[in-house]
Amino acid sequence: MQWFKDVESVQKLQTSSTNEALRHRLTDLSIESKIAHGNTVIFVYVTNKKFDNNATEYLATTNFDAYDIVRISD
For residue 38, the tally of other CB atoms under 10 A from its CB is 6
Does the structure show a pLDDT above 80 at 1? no
pLDDT at position 3, please?
Answer: 86
Residue type, 47: T
pTM passes above 0.85: no
Residue type, 31: I
DSSP assigned state of 35 = H
- Give all strands (DSSP E) within 1-74, no chain letters: 43-46, 64-67
* Domain map (residue ranges) of the chain: 1-41, 42-74
pLDDT band at 67 (very low <50, low <70, confident <90, very high): very high
For the chain, the distance separating the N- and C-terminal CA atoms, rounded to the nearest angstrom, is: 28
- pLDDT, tens digit (0-9, with 9 covering 90-100), for 6-59: 999 999 998 887 889 999 999 999 999 999 999 988 899 999 999 999 999 999
